[in-house]
Each structure stands twice: as C-alpha cells, then as structure tokens.
Chains A and B, each alone.
Chain A
C-alpha cells in the first residue's frame, strides 16, 4: 500500500500564479486534511473533509480552496499565490477518529 501520496513534492511559483496540490490515499479513509507547517507554528489546519463531496474550513483557510470529488482524492488549490503561502504542506487521512496518516509533504516557494 502506498498510504498517502502527495503531488508534487516541490514547486516554485511566481506571485499571482495558481496551482493545485493533489493528495491521494488508498486506505478508504473518510477524513482527509490539508495542513501547512511553518517554523515555530506547528501544523495548522487549512481545510478538511469528513467524506466524499464534503469540505470544511480549518484554522487558516484564506487564499485556499479544496475539493473532494472522489473519496480517495483531496485537492488543495491556490488561485493567486502570495509569498505568505510559502510553506510545507502536508496532507493526512483518517478512517474515523483514530490515528491519521500523513503524506511526505510538498515544499512550496512563492517568489
């Protein structure tokens, strides 16, 4: 099993460009999450989903959109990238209220 796979692993964007980060899980998990990790700030929740077709805002949703059209995929979109969105992004999935499994991360730099 691949677990949680994030694509791409690295990306450099120019301010104002758009991009989509893809998260795929093969564990049939209901819950999926997008976090960002910044120095000294821990893991902050951007958006999450409790099932196919559902999405909800987390702690820092501004500037991001998400979609969960298929149960196994959770997409994170940046419509107009800003330097403040330079970060490491982690996707995670959970079956229910148990442990979450994380992807390897996407390092995004916005210049």
Chain B
C-alpha cells in the first residue's frame, strides 16, 4: 500500500513556463517532506524540503507547497529550463511507527522542451 503517491508518471512543459509536480500522502504521521531529482545513471539528489509547520518553502526557481488538510504537496519550477528534464521523486518521513523510514513515490518524468 503506497503511502506516497505521484499520480502523474510524466509531464511535458515548454521552456520558460511553470512546471507543477504533484504528490499525495496518506499517513498522518508524516511531518517532513522532500523532493529529489534524478538523472539517468545517477543517484537521486536532494532538491528542496518542507516541514509540516510550514506551508511553503522557496529556493531560487523551486517552491514547494504543503496542504496538510488535503495531504498534498506540490513542487513548482519557474521558469522551467531544459536542464530540469529529469525524474522527480517526492519523499516523506515522520515519527511514531514511521520513525527512521523515508518513503518515496514512483516519480514523475519531467521533460522541458525548447
């Protein structure tokens, strides 16, 4: 039973436009959320994170929004660039029975075209 879900396997966006990647989670114990980026033949690299005490976190072109009541988070990339083309993974961690674990979604392949 997946606790972190990324329901869009792929997303295609034109360069300069906004990319919005979505993620849903089911476990109320999650209180820390992360986004990772992965290029082929490389390990995932950390992009941005957000704690459940916030609803928004920005880092340059990347912004993550958290809606706790809907158990939903999204990653906005503005403006999108061809080098952003990669697989993006959403991840979640928390306390209680989830302590120590880091759960990942199935990923969304983002393609940014010129």
Given the known interface contacts A97-B32, A99-B49, the answer about A35 and B104 at a Cβ–Cβ threshold of 8 Å is yes
Given the known interface contacts A40-B9, A105-B41, the answer about A99 and B100 at a Cβ–Cβ threshold of 8 Å is no
Q: Using a Cβ cutoff of 8 Å, how many contacts connect chains A and B?
A: 58
Query: What's the tally of chain A residues with a CB closer than 8 Å to chain B?
Result: 26
| In contact, A99 and B106 (Cβ under 8 angstroms) | no
Q: How far is the CB of A102 from chain B (nearest CB, A)?
A: 4
Which parts of B46-73 form the interface with A (CB within 8 Å)? Answer: 46, 49
A43's nearest neighbour on chain B, judged by CB, is B104
Contacts of B89 in A (CB 8 A): 42-43
Distance in angstroms between the alpha carbons of A94 and B100 in the assembled complex: 9
Contacts of B46 in A (CB 8 A): 99-101
For B73-114 the 0/1 string (1 means CB < 8 A from A) is 000000000000000010101000001111111110000000
B1's nearest neighbour on chain A, judged by CB, is A59
| In contact, B101 and A45 (Cβ under 8 angstroms) | yes
Given the known interface contacts A42-B89, A42-B107, the answer about A92 and B45 at a Cβ–Cβ threshold of 8 Å is no
Where the two chains meet, the residues of B that have a C-beta atom closer than 8 Å to any C-beta of A are 6, 9, 32, 34, 36, 41-46, 49, 89, 91, 93, 99-107
Where the two chains meet, the residues of A that have a C-beta atom closer than 8 Å to any C-beta of B are 4, 31, 33, 35, 40-45, 48, 50, 56, 58, 90, 92, 94, 97-105
